[in-house]
Amino acid sequence: MASPFVAPVTRQVSGRAAPASIPSGPESGQPLAATVAEMPVLDASGRRVLFGSLFRERRAVVVFVRHFLCYICKEYVEDLAKIPKSFLQEANVTLIVIGQSSYHHIEPFCKLTGYSHEIYVDPEREIYKRLGMKRGEEIASSVLNISGKSPHIKSNILSGSIRSLWRAVTGPLFDFQGDPAQQGGTVILGPGNNIHFIHRDRNRLDHKPINSVLQLVGVQHVDFSSRPSVIHV
C-alpha cells in the first residue's frame, strides 16, 4: 500500500501545540490517516491501546525498532533510557518505543536496557507497513563498517551478534522477537493526528541520532558519553 505521507518536516517543533498561523499543506506534512490512528498496539500486559491515543493530547517522539533481539536496537534503546523524564515533562513531550514482537518480550527487554518510558508492540507490523517502514536492508558503508559510525552503538558486529544469539537461545521463547528483515524509524506526532517529522531507517544503522530528534521537539540535550551499567545476558 502506498504511503499516505509527503516529505517530512525538518524544522524545529516545540512540545506545545503548534500555533494556528503555521500553514498546512505539503511543507507541514499531511495528517496521520484515521485508520492508522485507530489501529491497536499492545502494552506489556497484552492490553490493546489505540495508536492515536498515545499522542492525542501532546507531542510524542515514537521510535520504531527493528526487533528486540537486535543488539543495535538494544544499545540505541539503552541510550533512550538515559533521557530524564523531567526533560520530557518540561517540553510536554512523550517518548514511546514500539517493537514488533509478542508483548511477552516487553518486560524482559525493558529490564535488559533499563528503559522506563512508554513501550508497546505491533506484532502484525500493520502500523510499520502503513507508515512505510522498510522491510529489507539497503547495504551502505555504515553497515559494512559498524565501529564508530553511531554515537549510540558500542558493540562491533561480532560481539553484538554473539550476544543477540545468546539471548535468543537462553530466552523462554526461541524466536527473533520480531521479523529480522523489518527496519524501524522515528516519527514525531501530535497533539492529535499531526505528523511533524518522519524518518524511515534504510538499514540497521540508519537511526536518527537521539539528540537531533530531541532538538526538534525542544527537549534538552542529553550527554550519552557516560552510560549506566547494563547487564548483558
Complete edge-to-edge strand list for the sheet that includes strand 59-64: 48-50, 40-42, 118-121, 93-99, 59-64, 185-189, 195-200
Task: Pull the grid cell for residue 205.
Answer: 544503522
Contact 15/92 with Cβ under 8 angstroms? yes
Task: Pull the grid cell for residue 63.
Answer: 521510535
For 124-178, the pLDDT digits (tens) are 999 999 999 998 877 654 444 444 467 767 765 544 444 555 455 555 555 556 7
Contact 83/210 with Cβ under 8 angstroms? yes
Mean residue pLDDT across the chain: 78
Q: Which residues of 48-78 are buried (b: 16+ CB within 10 A; e: fewer)?
A: eeebbebbeebbbbbbbbbbbbbbbbbbbbb
For 27-78, the pLDDT digits (tens) are 346 799 999 999 999 999 999 999 999 999 999 999 999 888 888 889 999 9
Contact 100/179 with Cβ under 8 angstroms? yes
